[in-house]
Amino acid sequence: MYDPKSMKAEEFINHEEILATLQYADENKDNLELIDQIIAKAKLRKGLNHREASVLLACENKEKIEELYALAKQIKIDFYGNRIVMFAPLYLSNYCVNGCVYCPYHHQNKDIPRIKLTQDQIRAEVIALQDMGHKRLAIEAGEDPVNNPIEYILESIKTIYSIQHKNGAIRRVNVNIAATTVENYRKLKEAGIGTYILFQETYHKESYEKLHPVGPKHNYAYHTEAMDRAMEGGIDDVGLGVLFGLELYRYEFAGLLMHAEHLEAVHGVGPHTISVPRIKRAADIDPTVFDNGIDDEIFAKLCALIRVCVPYTGMIISTRESQAVREKVLPLGVSQISGASRTSVGGYTEAVRPHESEQFDVSDSRTLDEVVRWLMEMGYIPSFCTACYREGRTGDRFMTLLKSGQIQNCCHPNALLTLKEYLMDYASPETRAIGEKLIAEQLPTIPNEKARAICAEHIADIANGKRDFRF
């Protein structure tokens, strides 16, 4: 039985409801009257449910798809402006007891070197990341209760936050570790994490069990109900995602939206972010053996639909995607991207890529300076802001801010200030010149006069060497 308020995975991600949704979408994909009604509803910017969204995903009418893209672009501008938040992943350990068939860290892979960073090695990695200009990290680890217990993760978070090197500081640590207990989520919350990210991989239970044949991750319900436990443990920013390529994308998309509906129905707040990873080549993993790969067109359509269906949820694109694909989907609603990522354990202190312990190939291997410059050349403001978390504006409080439109007087100035810091401390002369021009153009666009004046004053302070890590 489908019940978004149920706490049971198979009731809030209900297989029969997904099948009925896909059938409804097929039956209505040419029903232009209904499609117009759905688009009209989407224009109210309050989102769409999984059934409505699935009809738009099935629709192949070129004109309507163009309308969808235009709306996604408009919502992106209205809600997120031209800001793109920057982050980098930090792999702590690739020890793993799970058997995920798409991931080279699976426990049967004896060819991959197993590495677990010591606190000193973490310090070195963090300094390397700070020296690039990063302020926000997503820590990643395999699941291994012996090698990577929660105590190790907590100690690592403490180490990361403690490092102040030159003007560098990591101000927000997001965490991507395996599903765990309420008690452990509470500990993560107490350690001051930002978002807890956990990809569902696939919402299709039968496939899920085949793709995760052994280990604790095999348990579909435990994995799918993780976000409820995280919220019970006090974490109100959670990040969803499916690994596209494993199952039929239309099934996954309906499941993803049902998951968001469930969180909203039960906890009063939807996901903070949605990631859209696609499966990539990796040591002992050939992505072509998975039959459900999606092309760039479908990928872009999914991004546009996520923007339209959950307008208040940030969207993340990693370096799994190439520069060209990132360029294509950025205007459709992406709010966060990673830059200069290393997907190996210890990768930031190694001189060359690829590394033996890499989790997957990256398609965008540019430096952070190059990514920042590229964004600015396209008119985006790369933002190193972490203020939502630091000011306690997470979860429903953040949503209220976003829904009230105040974000333009808050996020916009913070983005400019943190960009200014980046330009002063880390940018190449060429990037700095482009950035200074952009800041000068953008400052007058802050709507509130007082916010504009404070921002101008702080920019001058930063130029004069004042740093107080407020953002």
Burial of 288 (0-12, 13-18, 19+ CB in 10 A): exposed
Instruction: Considering only the stretches 119-127, 171-179, 288-296, 428-436, report the one whose residues sit in contact with ligand SAM under the rule CB under 6 A.
Output: 171-179
Cα–Cα distance for residue pair 189/183, rounded to 1 Å: 10
Q: Which of 140, 252, 321, 364 binds ligand SAM (CB under 6 A)?
A: 140
Q: Which stretch binds ligand SAM (CB under 6 A): 50-58, 110-118, 279-287, 421-429?
A: 279-287
Q: What are phi and psi of 64, to 5 degrees?
A: -70, -35
Q: Pick the closer one to ligand SAM by CB: 141 or 399.
A: 141
The count of other CB atoms within 10 Å of the CB of residue 11 is 15
Is 381 a binder of ligand SAM (CB under 6 A)? Answer: no
Helix (H) or strand (E) holding 69: helix 62-80
Residue 85 or 178 with smaller CB distance to ligand SAM: 178
* Residue with Cβ nearer ligand SAM (109 or 121): 109
Widest Cα–Cα separation across the chain: 63
Q: Is residue 280 within the footprint of ligand SAM (CB under 6 A)?
A: yes
Among 13, 72, 139, 243, binds ligand SAM (CB under 6 A): 243
Q: Tokens 């310090």 belong to which residue?
A: 123
Give the integer Cα–Cα distance in Å for 466 and 458: 9
Q: What angle do CA 338, 407, 265 make, to 5 degrees?
A: 80
3-state secondary structure of 305: helix
Nearer Cβ to ligand SAM (122/169): 122
Give the residue, chosen from 38, 85, 175, 177, that forms a contact with ligand SAM under the rule CB under 6 A.
Answer: 177
d(CA 72, CA 235): 29
Stretch 190-209 residues interacting with ligand SAM (CB under 6 A): 198-199, 201
The structure tokens listed for 316 are 């993340």
Site for ligand SAM in 87-106 (CB under 6 A): 102-103
Assigned token pair, 251 = 């099934």
Candidate ranges 170-178, 367-375, 446-454, 462-470; the one touching ligand SAM (CB under 6 A) = 170-178
Q: Which is nearer to ligand SAM, 217 or 373 (CB)?
A: 217
Please name the residue that has the structure tokens 């000193």: 120
Query: Applying CB under 6 A, which of residues 82, 93, 156, 176 lies at the interface with ligand SAM?
Result: 176
15-28 and 50-58 helices, crossing angle to 10°: 40
Q: State the nearest-atom distance from the C-beta of 199 to ligand SAM, in Å.
A: 4
- Kindly tell me which of 212 and 373 has the beta carbon lying closer to ligand SAM: 212
Residue 360 contacts ligand SAM per CB under 6 A? yes
CB of 77 to ligand SAM, least distance (A): 30
Q: Which of 275, 271, 334, 444 is nearest to 81 (CA)?
A: 334
Instruction: Give least dist CB 282 to ligand SAM, A.
Output: 4
282 is an interface residue for ligand SAM by CB under 6 A: yes
At 34, list the tokens. 């209904």
Q: Does 83 bind ligand SAM (CB under 6 A)?
A: no
**Cβ neighbours of residue 151 closer than 8 Å, sequence gap 6 or more:** none
Binders of ligand SAM in range 285-304 (CB under 6 A):
285
Number of residues that bind ligand SAM (CB under 6 A): 21
| Cα dihedral sign, 381-325-170-373 | negative
CA–CA separation, 424 and 436 (whole Å): 10
Burial 347-362 (b: 16+ CB within 10 A, else e): bbebeeebbebbbbbb
**Phi, psi (rounded to 5 degrees) for 435:** -70, -40
Q: C-beta of 90: minimal distance to ligand SAM in Å? A: 11
Does 226 help bind ligand SAM (rule: CB under 6 A)?
Answer: no
Tell me the C-alpha to C-alpha distance, in Å, between residue 30 and each of 33, 41, 57, 63, 308.
9, 18, 11, 12, 20
Q: Which of 279, 300, 330, 459 binds ligand SAM (CB under 6 A)?
A: 279
277 touching ligand SAM, by CB under 6 A: yes
Which range touches ligand SAM (CB under 6 A), out of 63-71, 175-183, 202-210, 460-468? Answer: 175-183
Q: Does the footprint of ligand SAM cover residue 222 (CB under 6 A)?
A: no
Q: Which of 385, 353, 388 is closest to 367 using CA atoms?
A: 353
Stretch binding ligand SAM (CB under 6 A), from 9-17, 140-148, 422-430, 461-469: 140-148
Residue with Cβ nearer ligand SAM (129 or 424): 129
In the complex, least distance from residue 359 CB atom to ligand SAM, rounded to whole angstroms: 6
* DSSP letter, residue 216: G
Question: Is residue 359 within the footprint of ligand SAM (CB under 6 A)?
Answer: yes
Chain residues binding ligand SAM by CB under 6 A are 102-103, 140, 142-143, 176-178, 198-199, 201, 217, 243, 277, 279-280, 282, 285, 320, 359-360
